[in-house]
Structure 1
């Protein structure tokens, strides 16, 4: 039986470059995702603000629009 030689196996430069490329791709993807989520949040807030601006103010306007107030209900 022969002697076992100590071998040192590393990924080398190609392993480092592939890992670095994957890390950079993930960084760009996360950055893009954050930008898109920020735009969605700002669009949602703008939609809510526009909806509140269009909504009638007070109970009188909602009654005129066909809505019923709690005090108008029988019971």
Structure 2
């Protein structure tokens, strides 16, 4: 496997002169930054929509104590724990 530090140092020597040409007071994210931000926003929107759809399927009906006790005894009788 090739040594990765050599390729990293080679890449840095090519990028350092490019960084010196940019005015430090006028650096902006640019088009790539906008595309990344827009993609992340779309992903969050899709996840929220999916979560909303799944939460709509959940039934939040609480069972009474009597129903819970009868469910426990029927489950115990099925497993043979008595």
- TM-score, with length taken from structure 2: 0.43
TM-score, structure 1 as length reference: 0.47
Q: Which is greater in Rg?
A: 1
